[in-house]
Amino acid sequence: MSNPADSALSRRDLLATTTRTAVATAAVGALLPGAYAAGDETIQLALVGCGGRGSGAAVDAMSSSCGPTKLVAMADAYEDRLKGSYEGLQGRFEKQMDVPQERQFVGFDAYRQAMDALNPGDVVLLTTPPAFRWVQFKYAIEKGLNVFMEKPICVDAPSGRRMLELGEEAKKKNLKVGVGLMCRHCEARGQLYDRIQNGELGDLILLRAYRMVGPTASAFVLPKPPEQNELEYQIRNFHSFLWASGGAYSDFLIHNIDECCWMKNDWPVEAQASGGRHYRGDYVDQNFDTYSVEYTFGDGTKMRLEGRTMVNCKQEFASFAHGSKGSAVISQSGHAPSRARIFKDQRMTRSNVVWQFPQPEPNPYQLEWDHLLNAIREDKPYNEVERGAKASLVTVMGRMAAHTGRVVTWDDMLELDHEFAPDVDKLVVGGDAPLKADASGKYPVPAPGLITKREYQV
């Protein structure tokens, strides 16, 4: 299953990580330090999902200072995606590429074939649309593979609870699992977190996050071409469909949500929100164009989140923290560099800066791979699934609050039974899609206040 973000090799070429991981205890496992499947120091990789994010993650894996690594298998639902990714990676990493035609797998069961080409202790990259994450992670655990998976790792409450359970299974097998919330590996944010926890901002009283940009990736989509299969159309435009990605909210806003929760060192207990669709024209996706969400933590602290994907509007892509003694930039102008800094009061001016992380910052996209591979080589406990699942579920919580017009709580996330695509593990190329269009080619969309028990009515 492809994950067609921007260009095949651009997204992760620019970035890399330092460690700030929430590591869970693990049982003693079968993989011993230095015992790798290739019979030497080489860690073998399989790429499942050959869109932009998958290709970029493979770039980081093969660029890591904790190598050597080698890509030995690739899988995607669609051959053109696999071929484009292969050609780009082969041109850049020829000596680390060992993916002959017989280890290039196409189809919805291709993930199994790619993982079957590995040995226990190797690493599989799960970078398909998020709907397929639990299916593929479950098989990786059965095969005894270490895992890197892209965020979000669930799209609704049932799949989130399933991922939490699978994370525990991975711990029992001592499998190392990284989740692509690379901001947690950022050295600048890590130092800011330490300073906030040490009281330099005083009591943390407000967090603010913004991702107010233009139309992004496949979040806006025109009606399906008559000749294209419905399922293929939805997967190739996965940001447009809640079942496939959790929509633009889950896929894009999760980073700002996660980094703010990190600074607070807590997860919100409820969310209330508003949002809407504007100037839709011929677009048929399920996304809102604006989201305004208020998260509340257990101690009453608020986190405000503003999301917008509209043309010719003010743009801002940043997160901020406010305390009783001062304020801070968590990130500014995108994910990296963060440009983290602290101000002596609430006025975020150059003259008020009392601390800032020096530039240039190490690349968090690369560092998350360095940390995962180092944990494998040193046999250190390393499992980011619980944190990744909670960040994903908190994201679902805010999205659902906007889509229903109701307050949604963390306890709701532990009980809600509406699963967008309960039979996602049974999908086949050329088959039916989990979501159907009406006679005009349009899909069901959220209707706050009218549909309140789930995010849309089928």
- Interval 205-236: pLDDT, tens: 999 999 999 989 999 999 999 999 999 999 99
Instruction: State whether 259 and 400 are in the same domain.
Output: yes
SS3 402: helix
Residues 251-260, mean pLDDT to the nearest whole number: 98
Please report, for residues 14, 120, 153, 387, the alpha-carbon distance to residue 390 in angstroms, rounded to integers and kept in the order given: 27, 27, 9, 5
What integer pLDDT is reported at residue 279 of this predicted model? 87
Residues 273 and 403 reside in one and the same domain: yes
Same domain, 222 and 283: yes
Say if residue 10's pLDDT is above 70: no
Q: What span, in angstroms and rounded, lies between the C-alpha atoms of 153 and 390?
A: 9
- 360-381 per-position pLDDT tens digit: 999 999 999 999 999 999 999 9
| CATH for 135 | 3.40.50.720
Tell me, yes or no, whether 163 and 59 share the same domain.
yes
Under 8 Å between Cβ of 142 and 120 = no
pLDDT of 401 > 90? The answer is yes
pLDDT of residue 36: 52
Contact 89, 113 (CB under 8 A): no
Flag whether pLDDT at 264 surpasses 70: yes
Q: Same domain, yes or no, for 316 and 377?
A: no
* Residue 26 in this model has a pLDDT that exceeds 80: no
Domain count of the chain? 2
| Residue 189 counted as domain residue | no
User: Among 445, 207, 412, 185, which Cα is nearest to 319's?
Assistant: 207
Query: Do residues 107 and 230 both lie within one domain?
Result: no
Q: What is the pLDDT of residues 139-181, one digit of tens each?
A: 999 999 999 999 999 999 999 999 999 999 999 999 999 999 9
Residue 86 forms part of a structural domain = yes
Structure tokens at 208: 């603010």
Do 94 and 227 reside in the same domain of the chain? Answer: no
Is 319 in the same domain as 284? yes
Give the start-end residues of each E strand in 358-424: 408-409
**Same domain for 408 and 286:** yes
Backbone angles phi, psi at 65, to 5 degrees: -70, -10
Biggest CA-to-CA distance, the chain: 61
CATH of the domain at 256: 3.30.360.10
pLDDT for 458: 84
In a domain, 294, yes or no: yes
Measured distance CA(52)–CA(23) in Å, rounded: 28
Model's pTM, two decimal places? 0.91
Q: Which domain holds residue 271?
A: 204-323+394-413
CB 146 within 8 A of CB 15: no
Q: With contact defined as beta carbons under 8 Å apart, do 187 and 18 qualify?
A: yes
For the purposes of burial, counting CB atoms within 10 Å of the CB of 385, is it exposed (0-12), middle (13-18) or buried (19 or more)? buried
Task: Let me know if residue 340 belongs to a domain.
Answer: no
Please compute Rg for the chain using Cα positions.
21
- Tell me how far apart the alpha carbons of residues 247 and 288 are, in angstroms, rounded to a whole number: 9
For residue 32, being part of any structural domain is answered with no
Q: Which pLDDT band holds residue 359 (cuts at 50, 70, 90)?
A: very high
Shared domain for 179 and 210, answered yes or no, is: no
Domain shared by 310 and 256, yes or no: yes
Q: Is residue 352 part of a domain?
A: no
Mean pLDDT of 282-296: 97
Per-residue pLDDT of 102-149, as tens digits, reads 999 999 999 999 999 999 999 999 999 999 999 999 999 999 999 999
- Shared domain check, 175 and 106: yes
- 165 assigned to some structural domain: yes
Q: Is 158 within the bounds of a domain? A: yes
Catalogue the E-assigned strands of 25-179.
43-48, 69-76, 104-106, 123-126, 146-149, 177-179
